[in-house]
Structure 1
């Protein structure tokens, strides 16, 4: 019997010599302020039996998206790219058609750092909604990078665009280090009630206390997400190499989630660690 594909639905590559990363400021980020490439990730995937990945944007720059798509051509384990494109541009459709013509189905989604926008209702702007609607025309998912502040707008937009596939990154970054947030839990429940959105179990270790978190620290958050979304709308993402700020290595992040989800059936575990990502991003693994 063939083993189900295991997929990491969220990781990054970057090079501080090539791009300026506004979020990479301060001494606390020094441990990851260096290039991270496929050569760095490949042995980690092999150690954890991960077959393929989804590579996710880090800056609002179309040239990064093109670079990632070029890199994916030469990196068999990168099954798909969630890139950046200007959702407010009148030329968005032309840009997406051009990328599809050049790279086929490697581009699987678009993301923008919404939680860095000054306006908490940025997602609801007419030009942004029009841009997200364009993604549906191109069969692309939209990754929601939001915190609790922006969750009401996310609920509004996801409800308004039922034909668009949405993927919530990092369970909306609850303030795990500060303790349970009722507002996060309530808003997340409203979002989960909408069937066209899934969520990545990713980015949690860096929202916890970096030097003292354990799998038990994450358990209540994961349990709540599973209760809300079910096991067919959740997916594993490492958020490597950002996770290295709080984890010793890639394996620690994989093992922590596996520990928390130990009660799932074999079929549910396979879905969380691969099958759901393949479905929600319509991934085409490299043969």
Structure 2
């Protein structure tokens, strides 16, 4: 089974997305739903997807679970819940009790938007992470280079947890990369309980001037650090449309992974996502 482990649904007419206000994001400031994604999955040979959090609202997580219940191709939901809430465990239990609540496979917060680079290390956040881990859910790390030291520390503090790094921590591809990112990625990968999504890379490059060759050094670095068993493909649709079509994004990542060997590609396009999120699929 080929899995897109990172895609989104949203409707700016029905909810507020603070991160979507920048003028350059106007092309994606409209509704995107399952009916929009379905033909793209079919055309690109994708069997299933995981829908991922877009805003800090429990209502969105509930909506995504309703979508998953009605959409067989959506095999997992990485939703949002307040890690700082002392009753988070009860909230997660209620979510899991909903129809298709078993499709809740992870929790995510937009950590890179927090003023404090050490937000993950706060005592109340760690209490929340403990509740996530106790319910056998993964936690998606949405961080940049600035927050990677905290991510490393939290992965070490919770060795029994499963963490998934989104977008390879958004390297500065347009600027040619940075040694600080490379070194911190290697340190995070040394924690054996962290997977890395090869996703969102084209939108960290120059949107008008990128190709697989320019993405490859970054893909190669995370592949070297994380190994073939901890790389995961994600399209980051529809954010990816800022830089290219679904087919162009998938094709570029396939080309990068193909250079690393057929087994790397095969695992990144399905097997590793099933393991990281413990997906209940054949």
Q: The TM-score by the shorter chain falls in which range?
A: over 0.9
Determine whether 1:120 maps to 2:153.
Answer: no
The alpha carbon displacement at 1:204 in A equals 0.4
| Matched residue count | 281
Contact 2:228 2:263 in 1 (8 A): no
Q: In 1, distance between residues paired with 2:262 and 2:218?
A: 21
Q: In 2, distance between residues paired with 1:142 and 1:109?
A: 5
5+ unaligned residues in a row in structure 1: which ranges? none
Contact 2:258 2:264 in 1 (8 A): no
Q: In 2, distance between residues paired with 1:257 and 1:201?
A: 8
| SS of alignment partner, residue 54 of structure 1 | strand
Q: In 2, distance between residues paired with 1:259 and 1:231?
A: 15
The alpha carbon displacement at 1:265 in A equals 3.9
Partner residue of 1:48 out of 41, 44, 48: 44
Q: Which residue of 1 aligns with 2:53?
A: 57
Q: Which residue of 2 aligns with 1:23?
A: 19
Q: Which residue of 1 aligns with 2:8?
A: 12
Determine whether 1:187 maps to 2:184.
Answer: yes
Q: Deviations over 1:82-135 (max 9, x none)?
A: 000000101100011111112331100000000000001000000001111111
Partner residue of 2:35 out of 39, 44, 53: 39
After superposition, the CA RMSD in angstroms is 1.0
**Equivalent runs, 1:105-116 vs 2, <5 Å:** 105-116=102-113
Determine whether 1:134 maps to 2:131.
Answer: yes
Determine whether 1:273 maps to 2:266.
Answer: no
| SS of alignment partner, residue 23 of structure 1 | helix
The alpha carbon displacement at 1:228 in A equals 0.2
Q: Which residue of 1 aligns with 2:243?
A: 246
Partner residue of 1:196 out of 181, 193, 196: 193
Q: In 2, distance between residues paired with 1:135 and 1:109?
A: 8
Instruction: Name the structure, 1 or 2, with higher relative contact order (CA <8 Å, separation 6+).
Output: 1
Q: Which residue of 2 aligns with 1:230?
A: 227
The alpha carbon displacement at 1:260 in A equals 1.0
Q: In 1, distance between residues paired with 2:279 and 2:46?
A: 15
Q: In 1, distance between residues paired with 2:124 and 2:205?
A: 35
Q: In 2, distance between residues paired with 1:180 and 1:270?
A: 27
Partner residue of 1:71 out of 67, 75, 78: 67
**CA shift in 2, pair 1:227/1:210, >3 Å:** same
Q: Which residue of 1 aligns with 2:101?
A: 104
Partner residue of 2:209 out of 207, 212, 215: 212
The alpha carbon displacement at 1:262 in A equals 1.4
Q: In 1, distance between residues paired with 2:192 and 2:21?
A: 37
The alpha carbon displacement at 1:264 in A equals 3.9
The alpha carbon displacement at 1:178 in A equals 1.1
5+ unaligned residues in a row in structure 2: which ranges? none
Q: In 2, distance between residues paired with 1:14 and 1:215?
A: 28
The alpha carbon displacement at 1:267 in A equals 3.3
Q: Deviations over 1:126-164 (max 9, x none)?
A: 000111111111010000000000000000000000011
The alpha carbon displacement at 1:269 in A equals 1.8
